[in-house]
Structure 1
Amino acid sequence: MGKIGTQVNTDDSSAKLTLSTTAEWVQDTENTPVYAVVSAVSEASGLDMVELPPLYNAINPDALNALFTSRAEPAVNKISFEYAGYDVVVRGTGAVEVRTTVNA
């Protein structure tokens, strides 16, 4: 699996924290965009991947993988959607970012 990292940003004016978890996916491997999304949300939420709601409630997993892995160059640069209470951004560069904002 690709690297997973977590970052915390504070906004002093609003006393809110933005929690950001990143993961990577790699073309032509088992580490697909879908797997990276579920892994990053699992890490961010502290839940096991099987405890998360089905990804298809938020986005079509087959279509998500196809947009980024069905050809040499991704069909799109990035896709943004909400999943399990997190804002998710999948990029054609192989990066996935999962964010949430909480009160400090």
Structure 2
Amino acid sequence: MRMMDTPINASDSSATETVSTTVEWEAGSEKTPVYAVVSAVAEAEGVDRIDLPPLYNAIDSEALNDLFTSDSGAVSSVEFQYAGYSVVVRGEGTVEVSSANV
């Protein structure tokens, strides 16, 4: 799994900076979209995955995996809020999280 941290200036003020983290997931492996979401938020937050609230409080985890691991390919991306972060899951195999307070 590849993780990338990219500082982003949310405004012209250097005091307002947040971190965007991208994690890749792979269809047909244990690195599911759900695993990537939790891993990306944990990385951005600087905590262990088990310290985060349950993902199912924000989105149906099983449905999220099914959307992106089925053969239909009908969904290109899904965006939702989780643990104070804006999360975008993309069909090409990436999850990007950024502070929801941007």
Aligned length: 101
Q: Which runs of 4+ in 1 moved over 3 A?
A: none
Deviation of 1:16 (Å): 2.1
- TM-score, normalised relative to structure 1: 0.89
Distance in 2 (CA, whole Å) between partners of 1:62 and 1:99 is: 23
Residue in 2 that maps onto 1:20 = 20
Taking the aligned partners of 1:49 and 1:14, their CA distance within structure 2 comes to: 29
TM, length-normalised to structure 2: 0.90
Q: 1:16–1:102: 8 Å Cα contact kept in structure 2? A: no
Query: Which residue of 2 is the match for residue 74 of structure 1?
Result: 73
Residue pairs, 1:54-65, within 5 angstroms? 54-65=54-65
Native 8 Å contact 2:77 2:88 kept in 1: yes
Q: What percent identity do the matched residue pairs reach?
A: 55
* Aligned counterparts, 1:1-104, within 5 A: 2-10=1-9, 11-12=11-12, 15-71=15-71, 73-100=72-99
Offset at residue 101 of structure 1 (A): 5.9
Q: Per the alignment, do residues 63 and 101 of structure 1 end up closer, same or farther by CA in structure 2, a change over 3 Å counting?
A: closer
Segments of 5+ residues of structure 1 without an aligned counterpart are none
Root-mean-square deviation (Å): 1.8
Which residue type is aligned with residue 42 of structure 1? A
Which structure carries more relative contact order (alpha carbon 8 Å, separation 6+)? 1
Residues of 2 paired with 1:101 and 1:88: CA distance? 9
